A and B are shown apart, each in its own frame.
Chain A
Amino acid sequence: MEMCADPSTLDGINWWMCYLTTGKHQSFYLSFGTVLLLLAFTAPVVMVLGFGGAMARKSKILPLRWFGLGYTNIVRGVPDIIFFLFVPIAMDQGIEYLRHQVKCPDVLEPIRQGNDFVVCTAAKMPLGTSAQWVHEVYGFTLALIAFALVFGAFAANTLYGAMNAVPRAQLETAEAFGMTDRQVFWRIQVKQMWVYALPGLSNLWMILIKATPLLFLLGVEDIVYWARELGGSKTTRFAYPHPDWRLYYFAFLLVFYLFMTWGSEKVFARITKRLSHGQATVGAGA
């Protein structure tokens, strides 16, 4: 805006208008999109991983069952923040290690040299020459994988419980109709489990929302990053000097999260009502 050319001459409402529309503030507003993007991408991956994990735990093959049990229990028994710190760096090193083996087979020096992790330049991920946005997308993707792995374990547990909660008589009836195991599973058990899974899944969604500020720990420029950046006190050398306003920025984030959880609660209440239609549960009032 033209009037914002010289901020030192502004006061009152104009100062605020200009202050709240600076380039950095626009990045701040966009970072809310980053959070929503993470939620939008993670939720389906979590469901797929959760379904896979639940099926692994129900599997007739013993090692697969152990894998499912191990996955769900280890992830749930350890603070998730450890996974958020561990998975991205472990993935990053794993990918670079593999690329190193493929692209530079002639380099014979060990990759781990004391306290360093050295791969050849061609194996770097992303390449040192790639654009900034590639680095950002790569970082975001690693964060997304970490989130999906952790929440996949929770979802697997919820879905496993829901599959077992389907009344046994329903499955026996299907068997009596001559359905095969596979048909019983897909047509009866999976169809009916959702109403039992819903309380757990809605809880999981709430937890997922509340876990998004941890993106900040993974180096993604999310809302927490910008709130700290913009709120910190600015001396007169800056265009818009102000004292330490981080308190207000964080209060704003708090309100944003309260609004998100409040809205989600309303939506889930409606879905529960719809799904319990015709079911003999308390939710349907039958």
Chain B
Amino acid sequence: MSCYDTLTDYGLRSIGIGERLLPKTDITLCDQFVLIGSGMIWNVYFAVFAMLLGFGLATLVAVGKASQNPWAAIPAKAFIFIFRGSPLFIQFFLAYEIFVLIPKVGIDINLGFATITAETRWLTKAWLGAVIVLFLNTSAYSGEIFYGALRAIPKGDIEAADAFGMSGFRKFRRIIWPAMLRLAWPSYTNEAIFMFHATTLVFFSGFPAWRQSGDALYYANYFADKTFNPFISYPIIAVYFVSFTLVIIALFGWGNKRLNRHIAPEQKIRFRFKPQFIR
């Protein structure tokens, strides 16, 4: 079997398209490259959705924690403390147990033009359950980052906004929020890298891989077990992760440039690779 055939058979294996059976004997280097790469689809999926959803909640949590109102500040602080103070690994286990215990019911959602049925049993599947856990987790970490940035906004910016007669939501949207993002961006980049790396925990902690469709680490581990040789599959997944990390740095670097475009060159904030691993 040529490597091209392997690619068409196994390229989308992790999302259930293509050959069902995994190679068991005569595992080639190409098999390993293709299947581990196929598993990366899951890692990207988890990271993208958790980050997109988490961005919104993180802003809310940060504003909540900085708020004078105890009804907003205390829940925000507790949320951050619980999700930052405990290991993500345990959070996955715990969430999975909760999801399993939730009664299995379908909820009809009327969209006007069509009705879809949201079923609670989806929560026990990685595509939904794991995204929810990662979303809450990244919201807590990003919320703390944003909170730190909120407190570091130069007083002059806010005074200038007041002088222009801005108040309430307009001041927040035009002045505070962009300044917060600009200050938080380098740390937020690290958070994104970290979140991406944390997606490897999904299939190792509670969420079962359905029909052997797992993420990159699931396949790397499968090959290491099957061939009893860790020196091939693990370096391959390492190469994948390093290259995807570089992509994240490039994408966020573009964002950083945009956020800093009005700032004098010597005051621009630079990104430094400093991820905080493992939660």
Q: Which residue numbers of A lie inside 8 Å of B, CB to CB?
A: 74, 76-82, 85-86, 89-90, 93, 112, 114-117, 150, 154, 157, 203, 207, 210-214, 216-217, 224, 244, 246-247, 250-251, 253-254, 257-258, 261-262
Contact = CB atoms under 8 A, between A and B. Distances in A.
Contacts of B234: 82, 85-86
Given A85-B234, A93-B230, 16 more contacts: A74-B242, A77-B241, A78-B197, A78-B241, A80-B277, A81-B217, A82-B241, A86-B230, A115-B226, A154-B277, A203-B276, A214-B89, A217-B204, A224-B89, A254-B94, A257-B86
B224 A82 contact: no
A228 to B, nearest CB: 8
Contacts of A262: 81, 85
Contacts of A214: 89, 278
Contact of A79 (B98, B224, B241, B276): B241
A250 B82 contact: no
B78 to A, nearest CB: 11
Contact of B90 (A157, A217, A253): A253
Contacts of A257: 85-87, 90
A257 B226 CA distance: 35
Contacts, number: 117
B21 to A, nearest CB: 17
Question: Would you call the interface of chain B mostly helix, strand, loop, or mixed?
Answer: helix
Contacts of A254: 82, 86, 90-91, 94
B120 interface: no
24 contacts: A76-B275, A76-B277, A79-B217, A80-B277, A80-B278, A82-B200, A82-B220, A82-B234, A82-B238, A90-B230, A115-B227, A117-B228, A207-B278, A210-B278, A211-B278, A212-B87, A224-B89, A224-B90, A244-B100, A244-B101, A254-B91, A254-B94, A257-B85, A257-B87
Contacts of A207: 276-279
Given A82-B241, A213-B90, A247 B204 contact: no
Contacts of B230: 85-86, 89-90, 93
Query: Which of A74, A85, A114, A251 has the most chain B CB atoms inside 10 A of its CB?
Result: A85
B219 to A, nearest CB: 12
B228 A115 contact: yes
B197 A79 contact: yes
Contacts of A244: 97, 100-101
Nearest to A153: B277
Contacts of A76: 273, 275, 277
Interface string B47-89: 0000000000000000000000000000000000110111111
Contacts of B87: 210-213, 257
Nearest to B88: A210
Contact of B279 (A77, A82, A210, A246): A210
Interface in B257-279: 273-279
B231 A78 contact: no
B86 A117 contact: no
Contacts of B110: none
B35 interface: no
A90 B193 CA distance: 26
A246 B97 contact: yes
Contacts of A246: 93, 97
Nearest to A243: B101
Nearest to B235: A86
Contacts of A80: 197, 277-278
Nearest to A261: B85
Interface in B186-208: 197-198, 200-201, 204
A85 B221 contact: yes
